[in-house]
Structures are given as structure tokens and as C-alpha cells.
Amino acid sequence: MVKEKAYAKINLFLDVLGKRPDQYHDLEMVMAPIKLCDYLTFKKNKNGDINIKTNVEVTDSLQNNLIYKAIKRLEEKSGKVLGVDVVLEKHIPIAGGLAGGSADAGATLRGINKLYKLKYTNEQLAELGEDIGADVPYCIYNKLCIARGKGEKLFFLNHKINHEILLINPGIKVSTKEVFDQIDMKKITPRKITAMTNAIYNKNTELMISELYNALEPFTFELFDEVKKCKDEILSYNPKGVLMSGSGPTFFVCGLDRKDLLIMKEGLEKKYHVYHTKIH
């Protein structure tokens, strides 16, 4: 039996540089792992089946589950039948902009690699992950990094950000594809990533907060008015820093001490799903 944690991520910076011929967009991001995670357990079975049990319904069919896709991808790569019983304890909001499904896929690639002693390197697993989802290569490593391309080109930042944060999720699911289909490049003003990376290297929290940026926010707001209303309510608490992660709808709040975070949590959790966690 093998156990793995699948850590969620947030985007401290997300810029859209343009559309690619393959219909993806070129991105430039700073991605950071947070302590909120799903838990996965993997056990071999002798009948060669892939069985997935979970505490919440993740997808409408087994074939659409990223855990299933990750195992099938490893079967294709290894040429072996990888019978496995998977138990998923889900805590990361589904379709929340926190790479929850990708995190589960990354944890599955790591877990099955150990369970069946396939001996693939993280680099090889990340390459396999590209076929499953744009965030999966990052989720193999779970390290603070710059991500470019569609998210698969990773440049690790050898620094730690030990900040407590709040995650606020309005309880709706946002389709990443819908948001990217909404993008109008004329409405995006390019931002330089260097100010954010310099803030991280110099441990300058104030500068890091001032450089929080997500080019997708206005497009998600156009599609989902509830997401815009959620941010407006968060702003009523005058947080130092608030940003939508990924394509949304989850926001994170940073730069406040624990007392102020807990006051916000108490006020907002009457209406939203709120998580007190940490960048790590």
C-alpha cells in the first residue's frame, strides 16, 4: 500500500501572453503550493482493474477521472497492467482554480510509480503528466516556481513563503475552458513577472502583495457574477492582498495576522466555503 498527499496550489501571478496554434494560451505564472490537500491510498489488486472510491463525486464517469487517466497513461508507458484500488479523500474544492484534479493526477503518478516500482524519475512523470493536464507537471513537484508555456515549463524558486492565508470559495464550479474561451487579448495589459520574483527572493511581503496579479479575473467575472460579488464582499474587510487563483472561483487572502484572518473567516464562512491554510 502507498499513501500520497495531493497539495493544492495558488497563483501569485498569472499573465496571459497570447494564443497558441494548439488552441492553448501561453502563460507566465508564479505558482505556490499550499497545505490544503487531498489524501490518496493505492493498493494493488490481482484482477487488473482500476477501482476508485471517493468521499465526493468528482466526475460523471470513471474514464473522465484524472486519476484513472494517470493510471492508464502509466500502463501505456510501462506496457504493464497496473491493477489498483484507489481511495481518494477529497478536500480541495472541485473546479476551484486550485489544481485539485491535477494534484490528484500528480499524486497518482507518484503513487503508482512507487507501488509498482516502475522507477520513473520525476522528470519522466512530469512529461507523462503533460498529456493529462496543463497543471499536472507542476503537481508532480509541488514547489514554488515560475511556470511558462501552457504551464509545463517549470523554473523552481529556491525560496519558502511561510504565510498563513484564507481561501474563500463561493461554492460554484468554474470551467477553465469557458474562461479561456472568453479571453480578449486586447483587454490584457502585460505585466512583468520580475517584480514578483524579486519580492519573493528579497522576502519583501509588502511588494509581493502589491504585485499579486491574475489576468483571468475580469473574464471570470464576466461569466460568473457570483465570483465578482464574492470578491467585493472580501474587499469589504480591507484585506492587504486578495487574488483569484487560476480561472477561479477561489480567492486567497494574504498579508494579515492570524487574528484578522480568523475574524474574516468567521464573517465570510456564513456564506462561503472558507479554509484557513498556509503557503508552504
Interval 210-235: pLDDT, tens: 999 999 999 999 999 999 999 999 99
CA 276 to chain CA centroid, Å, is 16
pLDDT interval class at 118 (50, 70, 90): very high
pLDDT at 19 over 90: no
220, 248 in Cβ contact below 8 A? yes
Q: What pLDDT score was predicted for residue 198?
A: 95
More confident residue, 63 or 274: 274
Sequence letter at residue 137 = P
Q: What pLDDT score was predicted for residue 121?
A: 97
Q: What pLDDT score was predicted for residue 110?
A: 98
pLDDT at 142 over 90: yes
pLDDT digits (tens, 9 = 90+) for 232-278: 999 999 999 999 999 999 999 998 889 999 999 999 999 999 999 99
Catalytic residues: 9, 135
- Measured CA to CA, the distance from residue 96 to residue 172 in angstroms comes to 8
Q: What pLDDT score was predicted for residue 20?
A: 86
Q: What pLDDT score was predicted for residue 30?
A: 97
Domains and CATH numbers, the chain: 2-156 (3.30.230.10), 164-278 (3.30.70.890)
Q: What pLDDT score was predicted for residue 158?
A: 87
Q: What pLDDT score was predicted for residue 256?
A: 86
Residue 116, C-alpha cell as written in the block? 509498482
What's the average model confidence in pLDDT over 173-177?
90
**CA separation, residue 72 to residues 44, 105, 128 (Å):** 15, 11, 11
pLDDT at 97 over 90: yes
Q: What pLDDT score was predicted for residue 194?
A: 96
pLDDT at 10 over 90: yes
pLDDT at 60 over 80: no
Kindly report the average pLDDT of the chain as a whole number.
94
